[in-house]
Structure 1
Amino acid sequence: MTEYTVRDAFYDYCRRVGMTTIFGNPGSTELKMFTDWPDDFEYVLALQETVAVAAAAGHALGTGRAGLASLHSAGGVGHSLGAVFNAYRDRVPVVIIAGQQGRAMLPYRPFLGADEPAEFPRPYVKSSLQPARAEDVPVALAEAHRIAMTHPRGPVFLSIPEDDWDKPAEPVEVREVRGDFSASPEALAELAEALNTARNPVLVVGSGVDDEQAMPQVVELAERTRSHVWISPLSGRSGFDETHELFRGFLPPVREHIVGRLAEHDLIVVLGAQVFAYHVHGEGPFVPEGARLFHLDCDPKQVAWSPTGTSLLTTIKPAVTSLLGLIDDGAADRLGRTAPEPRGLPATPAATEPMDVGLVLDGIRAALPEGTVIVEEVPSYRDAFHARIPINQSGGFLTTGSGALGWGLPLAVGRALEAAQAGTGERIALVIGDGSMMYSVQALWTAAQHDVPLTILILNNSGYGAVKALGRRLGMQNPPGSDIPELDFATVAAGLGVPGRRIGSPDELDKALAESLAHSGPYLLDITVASDNSPMYQPWAQ
């Protein structure tokens, strides 16, 4: 009888929890893992480790299960850390395994060995471990998976010496961990009373709402309390119907500007976001004078360091569901609460060459089929994107909530691969900047190899527009190193197996967008746009 090994236990456990797609870039210390590769697993080769982790994250966001990424020792883990950081900040469950030299070699600092593997990815993983014994690997895998999938979800790390795979082991039980939990009835009753008596309440919605698919409950809460709704600064997802009459927009990551936008409200309820994410330093209070703040989030760390307000440690969906049973439906009329003026869409700019980015974004909005999932990594034009392309479906918008570039393209590839595997007919659209594109351009090859349903729309302004905008805020007109001219993305894409073209004229836009979205596999459109010469985060004005 063949001996049951660590390898057998590993694949059996992954199979039972639905982690049968492995994203990786192999090295010598991973080869023994691949012995007798199981037919029901798919290995998705990434040409760089950032791509592997981000694509696993995109796949996880599509399936609702943990993604699985395989990396190489210390160097490969080092390459991936920008994506690990994003997965941690954006609460995406990814089980990351890394090869390690054999245990007998470790005392001698071997070539390609990791000296302190469990320390390397910290603090941006929920757990990190190299098991003490080979037979402990399956148990450690099961624990890591449970930690990844427990709120707040996030990446976990496991270093596995290469000679562990052939050692004897025991099967590991798949246990259920129910991760939803709610604040105490007394705390929710206090919040409900505040919502029932406030003059003008406002909800600030974060990624946690979308993560728990709680948008319907939050929309109902907003409607029944007639609360205005903002999305939290630099949110990695949407979480509210942006076409709804109660939706006000996106809070900027500047303290004074947030206070200005919330000045009319006496009650602020933050759902599934931190209080608040800032990008530049500001002064003064965190909330308007006299306003009361409640903060609902499932992360003990977030609720511990929040600078103001009353925090309720809770997952969002059960808490909001409970709140709905405590809301006084007559309070909104009795207190004279009113809906805001409709936001509307900005006017479409005139056709020019190079094209105004607003014209291009309006063209994208008109061309996108209903239900398209949009991934965004265009920091130069994120405000314009949000103003012109409203999201109205749960899971319909993905970006980085942490700011580490190189996430968008492989995230979109992984999400598109999941759509292809599931046969949903979804097409993923990536709106990305030329600077962002170059951080993980290798992901185009993976997209081509798997023929994923992905349209890549590059807003090409020949530079790091966000860096220039922040420079102008500081009085610098053109910071050094912020120009990146003469990048030919259509040629690069063709070399990696993805068809595409470059356009610069308004006359070409509509037809090119239609062709890119109708293509069955990946397609890239490199769109020349004019630079925006305004500073980032301009002072707020009504």
Structure 2
Amino acid sequence: MASVREEAYELLRAHGLVTVFGNPGSTELPFLAALPDDFRYVLGLQEAAVVAMAAGFARARGGPALVNFHTAPGVGHALGALFNARQDHDPLVVVAGQQARAQITVEATLTNRDVVRLAEPHLKWAFEPPRAADVPHALARAIATACAAPPGPVLLSVPMDDWTQAADTNLAQAARERRLEAANVPARGLVREIAESLASAQNPALVAGPELDSEAGHAAAVALAELLAMAVYAPPATGGSGIGFPESHQLFRGVLPPAIGPLADALRGHDLVLVAGSAVFPYYPYLPGRPLPEGCRLLQVTCDPDAAARAIAGKAFVADAAETLAAVVSELRLLKNEGRLDVSSFVGRSRSSAQPVDPATIVANAGEVSAGAERGVVAVGAACRALRAAAPPDTAFVVEAPSATLALRNHLRIDRPRSWFFTAGGGLGFGVPAAVGVKLAQPDRPVVAVVGEGSLQYTIQALWTAVREGLAVVIVVLRNDEYSILKWFGQLEGESEAPGLDLPGIDCLALARGYGLAAEAVEGAEQLHAVVAGALARGDGPLLVEVPVERGMAIA
């Protein structure tokens, strides 16, 4: 009779989950001991790095990823990264070890005393099967739950002795064969209401969020914008885990400010705003004001019921954003054919009314921004332009440089879906391991991680995995010797004397070399361009490139 472990392998194989991102402990050994030859185990040296690698892998491949780590301590180490994954809607299936069943009641060492209470606030679902025979079914449920809209991380705790128990083959086969399919087609009434609202608006705008970060999402957003000559905005960069509209398109007006008052000011002139695939809105600094310009209505389409429920304004529809926009375009064309929509009157209106978002409004009344490069350092904008020129058009950029994020968005102008990888959760430690995951999912694609020297430290162990796996990832460290974003927040909050905001003496080159990476320091934008372009062309292994940049908040 097959064991629970053997049936679990079959189920995982049926779902294409044959890459395991993990950091093993004693309670995981029974699951890993007989790992089939067609499975790949990717070792991370710390659980937060493991989760971020899996998140990058899942996003790049457009499907779930499998994670395995150690009982309660491992889950505890991973909680910050799991928080990010929940915010980013990353479909991660986490299988964590647990003490042997005979010792759970007495709470022997490493017992995860309450799996659900420990992890569930950061997960869609957490569960420990009551019987060994239930493990395959619970695993099938975990996969289905992780992938169902809105996607997100789940956790299954499995006592270590369950894996070698005899499986109930009937239940295991049923679990392996079952599937969950969601109907993504929005209701006709919803589509007609949105279409008629857009048709009757004088100057509507589209805010294209990360749920549109796919080929279908971009195509639907572009079709709608071009049909109505609509101005298109990106939601605030704080929520930009993906990009929902090509940012060099002539109708793209920029990234909205991440605060209530400035965001409403940026939308002035519009009488209707359609937010597709985003929360309303991912604010961070509290700058109060009206949530919308006077006389402006807002419609929201998102797959996330929670995001719809908590929206600060407007009317929300829970549906697939890409499917909804595609259906709205079809409905508008029907209205046009019926003579109820004259699109000729819309030509040029996005250029004659709403102006592009001024990056300065993002930090209005919020402290100083970088005014220019100091002597001996590179302007962040110049570094961003060098990276854009060095990288081929299909490059995947993984970004975790908080004080340079807006400058990178403004200069890189990402056009291709799944080419901007960022965490909307705000927790550091995503960048380098996520780049490792992206490269594992798409080995033939150029991958560039752009991080600060501060954020690099959170999951620096991922450098070792990049070397071990032979991944040609280019990691660009923008070094400014401080937590620039925190100094900016200090100015915003009127608290500029906080300790611990300077980072002198971190030798990122030596740290990288200690993990086995090639590492190089550059002194100017031209040298940065040459080194990054050469590394991407060679593709012969990971490289860390450090460039000294100006201090302060960079937006252009």
TM bucket (normalised to shorter chain) is over 0.9
What does residue 406 of structure 2 align with? 383
Work out whether 1:334 is the aligned partner of 2:345.
Answer: yes
What does residue 549 of structure 2 align with? 529
Distance in 2 (CA, whole Å) between partners of 1:89 and 1:350 is: 34
Q: Give the residue type in structure 1 aligned to 2:472.
A: P
Q: Give the residue type in structure 2 aligned to 1:318.
A: E
**CA offsets 1:407-434 (integer angstroms, 9 cap, x no match):** 11111101111122xxxx2111111111
Residue pair 1:46, 1:442 contacting (<8 A) in 2 also: yes
Work out whether 1:397 is the aligned partner of 2:417.
Answer: no
Q: Map of 1:363-374 to 2, 5 A cutoff?
A: 363-374=386-397
Distance in 1 (CA, whole Å) between partners of 2:99 and 2:222 is: 52
Q: Give the residue type in structure 2 aligned to 1:167.
A: Q
Residue pair 2:259, 2:288 contacting (<8 A) in 1 also: no
Please give the secondary structure, in 2, of the residue aligned with 1:439. helix
What does residue 305 of structure 2 align with? 300
Deviation at 1:318, TM superposition (A): 1.7
Deviates more, 1:153-162 or 1:468-477: 468-477
Please give the secondary structure, in 1, of the residue aligned with 2:101. coil
Work out whether 1:238 is the aligned partner of 2:257.
Answer: no
Residue pair 2:20, 2:67 contacting (<8 A) in 1 also: yes
Distance in 1 (CA, whole Å) between partners of 2:4 and 2:310 is: 41
What does residue 368 of structure 2 align with? none
What does residue 296 of structure 2 align with? 291
Aligned pair count? 529
Q: Map of 1:3-22 to 2, 5 A cutoff?
A: 3-22=1-20
Residue pair 1:117, 1:130 contacting (<8 A) in 2 also: yes
Residue pair 1:399, 1:408 contacting (<8 A) in 2 also: yes
**CA offsets 1:291-343 (integer angstroms, 9 cap, x no match):** 11110011111212223211111001221111011115553432565233796
**CA offsets 1:90-119 (integer angstroms, 9 cap, x no match):** 111010010000010011111111110122
Distance in 2 (CA, whole Å) between partners of 1:508 and 1:292 is: 49
Q: 1:312 aligns with which of 292, 317, 338?
A: 317
Residue pair 2:64, 2:93 contacting (<8 A) in 1 also: yes
What does residue 281 of structure 2 align with? 276
Deviation at 1:211, TM superposition (A): 5.3
Please give the secondary structure, in 2, of the residue aligned with 1:119. helix
What does residue 366 of structure 2 align with? none
Q: Give the residue type in structure 1 aligned to 2:427.
A: A
Q: Map of 1:340-351 to 2, 5 A cutoff?
A: 340=351
What does residue 502 of structure 1 align with? 521
Distance in 2 (CA, whole Å) between partners of 1:85 and 1:350 is: 35
Residue pair 1:245, 1:340 contacting (<8 A) in 2 also: no
Distance in 1 (CA, whole Å) between partners of 2:482 and 2:12 is: 43
Distance in 1 (CA, whole Å) between partners of 2:525 and 2:307 is: 46
Q: Give the residue type in structure 2 aligned to 1:448.
A: V
Change (3 A) 1:46 1:533: closer
Q: Map of 1:427-466 to 2, 5 A cutoff?
A: 427-466=446-485
Deviation at 1:507, TM superposition (A): 5.5
Change (3 A) 1:516 1:264: same
Distance in 1 (CA, whole Å) between partners of 2:161 and 2:509 is: 44
What is the aligned-residue identity percentage?
A: 36
Deviation at 1:274, TM superposition (A): 0.7
Distance in 1 (CA, whole Å) between partners of 2:2 and 2:390 is: 54
Residue pair 1:231, 1:251 contacting (<8 A) in 2 also: yes
Unaligned runs of at least 5 residues, structure 2: 360-370
**CA offsets 1:497-540 (integer angstroms, 9 cap, x no match):** 11111123446333222233234221110111110268x99xxx
Distance in 1 (CA, whole Å) between partners of 2:214 and 2:546 is: 31
Distance in 1 (CA, whole Å) between partners of 2:411 and 2:266 is: 20
Unaligned runs of at least 5 residues, structure 1: 538-542
Distance in 2 (CA, whole Å) between partners of 1:345 and 1:497 is: 43
Residue pair 1:350, 1:359 contacting (<8 A) in 2 also: no
Work out whether 1:227 is the aligned partner of 2:230.
Answer: yes
Distance in 2 (CA, whole Å) between partners of 1:355 and 1:51 is: 29
Residue pair 1:237, 1:395 contacting (<8 A) in 2 also: yes
Change (3 A) 1:517 1:93: same
**RMSD over aligned Cα atoms:** 2.1
What does residue 480 of structure 1 align with? 499
Q: Map of 1:60-99 to 2, 5 A cutoff?
A: 60-99=58-97
Please give the secondary structure, in 2, of the residue aligned with 1:326. helix
Q: Give the residue type in structure 2 aligned to 1:181.
A: N
Deviates more, 1:251-260 or 1:35-44: 35-44
Residue pair 2:235, 2:281 contacting (<8 A) in 1 also: yes
What does residue 216 of structure 1 align with? 219
Q: Map of 1:94-109 to 2, 5 A cutoff?
A: 94-109=92-107
Q: 1:45 aligns with which of 19, 43, 46?
A: 43
Distance in 2 (CA, whole Å) between partners of 1:298 and 1:522 is: 37
Change (3 A) 1:533 1:229: closer
Provide the TM-score with structure 2 as the length reference: 0.91
Residue pair 2:228, 2:346 contacting (<8 A) in 1 also: no
Distance in 2 (CA, whole Å) between partners of 1:286 and 1:7 is: 53
What does residue 195 of structure 1 align with? 198
Deviation at 1:345, TM superposition (A): 12
Deviation at 1:243, TM superposition (A): 0.3
Distance in 2 (CA, whole Å) between partners of 1:309 and 1:445 is: 47
Q: Give the residue type in structure 1 aligned to 2:321.
A: I
